Amino acid sequence: MTTPSTPLTSANAALLFPVLSTAQILRIASHGLIRPITRGEVLIEGGQTNVPFFVVKAGEIEVIRPSGLGALLIAVVRANEFTGDISMILGRPAQMRLCASQSGEVVQLTRDQMHALIQTDAEIGAVLMKTLIYRRIELVARGVGDAVLIGSAQSAATLRIKTFLTRNDHPFKYLDLDRDADVRDLLDRFRVEPAELPVLICRGETVLKNPSNQEVAECLGFNARIDWAYQRDVVIVGAGPAGLAAAVYAASEGLDALVLETSSPGGQAGSSSRIENYLGFPAGISGQELAGRAYAQAQKFGADVMIAKSAAELTGEREAYGVRLDDGATIPARVVIIATGARYRKPALANLGRFEGVGVYYNATFMEEAQLGDGDEVIVVGGANSAGQAAIFLARTGRPVHVLVRSSNLSESMSRYLLRRIEEASTIQVRTRTEIVALEGNGRLERVTWRDGTGAVSSHDIRHVFLMTGAEANTGWLKSQVALDVKGFIKTGPDLTPDDLAAAQWPLERSPYLLETSRPGVFAVGDVRCGNIKRVASAVGEGSIAISFVHRVMAE
Ligand SMILES: Cc1cc2nc3c(=O)[nH]c(=O)nc-3n(C[C@H](O)[C@H](O)[C@H](O)COP(=O)(O)OP(=O)(O)OC[C@H]3O[C@@H](n4cnc5c(N)ncnc54)[C@H](O)[C@@H]3O)c2cc1C
C-alpha cells in the first residue's frame, strides 16, 4: 500500500523532473536500449546494486520507499522524464523501489552506459548531474531514504552517526527518544531497548545497535561496488578538498584513481558553515555543499571513493606501492598521493574525552547547533578563521558567544572580513589571553573554568564548548615512512634537504618534483604538507597540479 503524498514532486517540480526533448531522448537511446514496460513490473528493487537508468518514452513509473520503513510514494516519473538520483553516480545501492504504474516504453541504460553518456554528451550530462544532485538535496532535506536513526540529543554516539550520514549526503529520518512520539512503537517493532540506542534501521530490515561509521557504510552499501584488489594508477589518501581535487583531475585525465577516506568527503572544509573566500562563490558556499559537489564530480569522471576506510600504512616500493587499510587489506598503487590534512589539536584537559559530543565539539554546523537549547551560552576556543566562522554562525540567533584566545588579539590570525563581523556582533565577546583550565559535569558538560589575562580563575555555567585550536598533521599512520618536519608535516620538493634524501635512500638521479615526498612517486598535497597555506583554494590547487607530476612519474 502506498500513500498519495509525493514528497519529491510537491516542490521544485521543474528542477527535479525536467522534460527531455525528443532529440535528447534519441541521443540517450544511442547509449542503451529501448524496451517495453508492463504495468506492475518492478524495474528496480530497494537495495539493488548496479542500478539501471530509465527515460520514460511512454507510460509511468512510480518511485516508492520500500515497505520496511512504511511504504511511501516518493514521485511519479512521466513521459520524457527520467529516473535516478546521485546514488547512481556514486555506485551505491538503490534506496527506492521503481515500479511501472502504467505500461509503456523506456530507454534503459546500465550505470556504465550512463557514465559514458555523462562524460561524452556535455549538454545532457549537465541536465542529468544537476537533476540528480537536486533530487538528493531534496531527499536529504526531507529525511526520505532507506535509513532511520533513533537516538538522543544527549548522546555523543547519536551525534557521530548523524554527522556521518549527513556529511555523506545520505538521506535519513531522525527520531529522538525524548521528543518524538512514535519512537516507542518503532523500538517495540524492531525489539530494541532504549538503553541500546542509538540504533540505525537500514532498509527496514537490518537493525544496527550503536554502529561504528564502518558498519553504517557497509550496511548502506557505500563501498559496495568498488573493486580494491587490483593495482590502481593512483591511490589518494584523504577526501578533503586536496584529495577530491586530485581525484577529479586524475580521473578526468584518464588515470585509474581510488580515494580512501576515514570518515566523510570534504575534510575540514566539509565542517565549515560557510566558505566565503573560495573563488567563484561570491555569496559563499557551505563546506558540506562544496564537498558534495566535488565528491559527485570525482565519481562522474570515474574515480572510486571508499568511505570509512583508513590508511594504516604505506607499503612496497617505487611503482609497486600499497596502502594498507585498518581492516588489513592492502590496495596496490603505482603512485600514492597523501592528502590526509590536519585536525584540531586537543588541549590538555584531564576529562576532555568524557564530554566530546556532549558539550565539547570540534565542528560548528547545524548538527552541533541542534544539540543546544535556545539561547544557550557557548564558548568558542581559537583565534583562526575556523573559530571566527563558528562564532559568527553560533551568534546569528542572538545567543551569547565567548571567543577565548590565548594571544593578545585576534587580528594576527583571522581574516579581516571575519574580524569586522565579530566586532559588529553585539553578542560575541572576545576574551584574549584566556584559556580553559577545567571542565565539569555529570554525564554531560555543565561548567567551564577559565583563567584570564590577569591570572584570575573563574567558573561559569556554560554547557557548550567549540574547540578550534591549532592544527596537527594527520601523519601518524605513516610511521615516518616519508620525511616529516619537526611538527609532523610532510616535506616535499625543494623543502627536502640532502640529508632527508640520503636518510630516505632516494634512488633517482633527478630531485623530487614539487609536491613529491622523500619517496619517488609518493606525493603530499594540502594541509598535511609542510609549508602549505591552509586554505581550501591552496588544497584544491595542490591536489590538481600533483596530477601533472603523476603523469611524469608514470612516464619514467
Ligand atoms: C571549520 C573550518 C572552516 C574553514 N573555513 C575556511 C574558509 O572559509 N576558507 C578557506 O580557504 N579555508 C577554510 N578552512 C581551511 C580548509 O578547510 C583547509 O585548509 C582544507 O580543508 C584542507 O584540505 P585538505 O584536503 O588538505 O585536508 P582536510 O580538509 O583536512 O582533509 C583531509 C581528509 O583526510 C582524511 N584522512 C585523514 N587521515 C586519513 C587516513 N589515515 N586514511 C584515510 N583518510 C584520512 C580526513 O578524514 C579528511 O577528510 C577551514 C577549516 C575549518 C576546520
* DSSP assignments along 484-547, one per residue: B-TTSPBP-GGG--HHHHHHTT---SSPPPTTB-SSTTEEE-GGGBTT---SHHHHHHHHHHHH
Buried b (16+ CB within 10 A) or exposed e, 196-210: ebbbbbbbbebbbeb
Instruction: Per-residue pLDDT tens, the chain, 556 aa: give them.
Output: 344 455 565 567 788 999 999 999 999 999 999 999 999 999 999 889 889 999 999 999 999 987 666 778 989 999 999 999 888 888 889 999 999 999 999 999 999 999 999 989 999 999 999 999 999 989 998 888 889 999 988 889 999 999 999 999 999 999 998 888 788 888 888 888 888 889 999 988 899 999 999 999 999 999 988 999 999 999 999 999 999 999 999 999 999 999 999 999 999 999 888 898 999 999 999 999 999 999 999 999 999 999 999 999 999 998 899 999 999 999 999 999 999 999 988 888 989 999 998 999 998 988 889 889 888 999 999 999 999 999 999 999 999 999 999 999 887 778 899 999 999 999 999 999 999 999 999 989 999 999 998 999 999 999 999 999 888 999 999 988 999 999 999 999 999 999 999 999 999 999 999 999 999 999 999 999 999 988 999 999 999 999 999 999 999 9
83 lines ligand 1 (CB under 6 A): no
- DSSP, res 82: B
Q: Atom 12, ligand 1: which residue's CA is nearest?
A: 535
Instruction: Check residue 6 and give its pLDDT.
Output: 58
272 lines ligand 1 (CB under 6 A): yes
Percent of the chain with pLDDT over 70: 97
Closest ligand 1 atom to residue 276 Cα is 8
Q: How far is C-alpha 286 from the geometric centre of its chain's CA atoms?
A: 12
Check whether the bond before 347 is cis (ω within 30° of 0).
no
Percent helix, strand and coil across the chain, each to the nearest 5: 30, 25, 45
User: What count of other Cβ atoms lies within 10 Å of the Cβ of residue 24?
Assistant: 18
Buried b (16+ CB within 10 A) or exposed e, 26-50: ebbbebbeeeebeeeeebbebbbee
Closest ligand 1 atom to residue 245 Cα is 25
Torsion, Cα of 283, 289, 291, 292 (10° steps): -140
471 lines ligand 1 (CB under 6 A): no
268 lines ligand 1 (CB under 6 A): yes
Instruction: Check residue 4 and give its pLDDT.
Output: 42
Q: Atom 13, ligand 1: which residue's CA is nearest?
A: 535
- Measure the CA–CA gap between 203 and 67, rounded to whole angstroms: 9
The cell 554547557 sits on which residue?
463
Angle at the Cα of 466 from the Cα atoms of 382 and 268, rounded to 5 degrees:
75
Q: Is 434 exposed, middle or buried (0-12, 13-18, 19+ CB in 10 A)?
A: buried
339 lines ligand 1 (CB under 6 A): yes
Closest ligand 1 atom to residue 268 Cα is 29
- Closest-CA residue to 171 (of 150, 216, 140): 140
C-alpha cell at 529: 604538507
- Measure the CA–CA gap between 509 and 53, rounded to whole angstroms: 51
474 lines ligand 1 (CB under 6 A): yes
Instruction: Check residue 2 and give its pLDDT.
Output: 41
- Measure the CA–CA gap between 499 and 98, rounded to whole angstroms: 62
Q: What is the pTM of this model?
A: 0.91
Instruction: Check residue 30 and give its pLDDT.
Output: 96
- Measure the CA–CA gap between 367 and 545, rounded to whole angstroms: 34
- Measure the CA–CA gap between 99 and 266, rounded to whole angstroms: 35
Q: How many whole angstroms from 286 Cα to the centroid of ligand 1?
A: 14
Instruction: Check residue 282 and give its pLDDT.
Output: 93
Q: How many whole angstroms from 525 Cα to the centroid of ligand 1?
A: 11
Q: Is 127 exposed, middle or buried (0-12, 13-18, 19+ CB in 10 A)?
A: middle
Torsion, Cα of 439, 466, 241, 160 (10° steps): 70
- Measure the CA–CA gap between 365 and 395, rounded to whole angstroms: 12
- Measure the CA–CA gap between 159 and 163, rounded to whole angstroms: 6
CA dihedral over 362, 364, 368, 374, signed as positive or negative: positive
Q: How many whole angstroms from 176 Cα to the centroid of ligand 1?
A: 30
Buried b (16+ CB within 10 A) or exposed e, 260-286: bbbbbbbbbbbbbbebeebeeeeeebb
388 lines ligand 1 (CB under 6 A): no
Instruction: Check residue 497 and give its pLDDT.
Output: 96
Instruction: Convert the pLDDT of each residue in 432-444 to its tens digit.
Output: 999 999 999 998 9
- Measure the CA–CA gap between 237 and 259, rounded to whole angstroms: 6
Give the SS3 label for residue 102: strand
- Measure the CA–CA gap between 168 and 307, rounded to whole angstroms: 9
Q: How many whole angstroms from 264 Cα to the centroid of ligand 1?
A: 11
- DSSP, res 345: P
